[in-house]
Structure 1
Amino acid sequence: MKTMNFLAVIFASLMAIGCSSQPDYRQAEGNGYGYQATKITDKQYRISFKARGSDQNKAMDYALLRAAEVTVENGYDWFVVTHRETFVDRERISPQSSIGYTNSSNMVTRCGLVSCTTTHYPRSTLSAGIHIGGSESSDIQTVLEIQLGAGVQPDSEHSFEAQAVIDNLSPKTE
């Protein structure tokens, strides 16, 4: 019995090590987790990063990192994000909050021996919310379309120097 318990502990430990040692930032296999790059034209690419969890910022960072790597691999200095979308469990997420107001009424009918009485109770509901994105088991996917460039970089909040992005967003090795 002790041998079985020992083997079970060893097996569980190896499984935990195997699962935890797989890096977050990796190339996706098929439609799995990780990054993908699709060439649209010589200077345009679609980059996606898919992860499990609730950290939309991490998915965005890794998509930007892959965009920077594709830029450098193709001999360019910078890239411009021309389109960006984030999906949580395949639903597009917009960064906006929501506010709602609803009027309704409840109708209650009470019947006695001789007659019935119906009463309406008005009800108002005010709701507000901000979607903070998914749970630990959610699939988060960020999709970027980028335009590659060299030389003078456009002065835009959507323009990124590729090497600076790589330096700042590459996963830190421990």
Structure 2
Amino acid sequence: MKTRLLKPALLAVSAAALALSACATATPYGPAGYGTRYGYSDQRIDADRFRVAFAGNSVTTREQVEMSLLLRAAEVTLESGHDWFATVNRATDRDVRYSPTPSPFYYDRYSPYWGPSWRYYRRGYWSPWSDPFGPDMDFREIDRYEATAEIVVGNGPKPAGDPNAFDAREVVQNVGPRVPRPM
């Protein structure tokens, strides 16, 4: 009898753990599209100019977002038949939000469950054990990064002395292995 109940409970616990672990992963390198706004996007502006962007979720670090942007810029360069790219405009935006979470030690005075003031509080009466200002809240800061760049592409060796110029094949070789891919 115990084993019959244990198997479904174990299955439910493992499914919940799997679902929670899937929520806490960085944005994998891939196109942003239907159903998700996270990932890369690019647009041709001119014959030798592109706009490239990469948006990460709240678990993706700034470094991962910027590396993914460079990798996508290199891939766009190679796909368009060019050898190098130079960033004309490049920016990384940080979106900060605060998520309130009630303290686990606070119990609502109207809750049917036990709380620190359940014996001393009746609806409409003040109690020295109840909080007159409401529940204690913990605020968690949630950061999301999005990097954008306008790039100019070219053929031949990259311009010497330009710190914003990159050899596309070297970027793919050096940055590609460090960018998280979808599983």
Q: TM-score of the superposition, structure 2-length normalised?
A: 0.62
Matched, 1:165 2:165: no
**Do 1:48 and 1:142's aligned partners in 2 also have CA atoms closer than 8 Å?**
yes
Matched, 1:27 2:31: yes
**Corresponding residue number in structure 2 for 1:62:** 68
State the identity %.
31
Measured in 1, the distance between the counterparts of 2:164 and 2:157 equals 15
Q: CA deviation at 1:37?
A: 0.6
Q: CA deviation at 1:20?
A: 6.6
Q: Deviations over 1:109-158 (max 9, x none)?
A: xxxxxxxxxxxxxxxxxxxxxxxxxx5x3210000100010013212000
Matched, 1:49 2:54: yes
**Do 2:27 and 2:56's aligned partners in 1 also have CA atoms closer than 8 Å?**
no
**Which blocks of at least 5 consecutive residues in structure 2 are unaligned?**
97-140
Question: Any idea what SS the aligned residue of 2:29 has?
Answer: coil
Match for 1:7: what amino acid? Answer: L
**Which blocks of at least 5 consecutive residues in structure 1 are unaligned?**
91-134
**Do 1:43 and 1:148's aligned partners in 2 also have CA atoms closer than 8 Å?**
yes
Q: CA deviation at 1:29?
A: 1.7
**Do 2:26 and 2:60's aligned partners in 1 also have CA atoms closer than 8 Å?**
no
Indicate the structure with greater strand content.
Answer: 1
**Do 2:27 and 2:38's aligned partners in 1 also have CA atoms closer than 8 Å?**
no
The 1:165–1:74 alpha-carbon spacing in structure 2 relative to 1, beyond 3 Å, is same
- Number of aligned residue pairs: give it: 131
Instruction: Identify which range, 61-70 or 1-10, moves more after superposition.
Output: 1-10
Question: Any idea what SS the aligned residue of 2:157 has?
Answer: coil
Q: TM-score of the superposition, structure 1-length normalised?
A: 0.65
Measured in 2, the distance between the counterparts of 1:16 and 1:6 equals 15
**Do 1:50 and 1:140's aligned partners in 2 also have CA atoms closer than 8 Å?**
yes
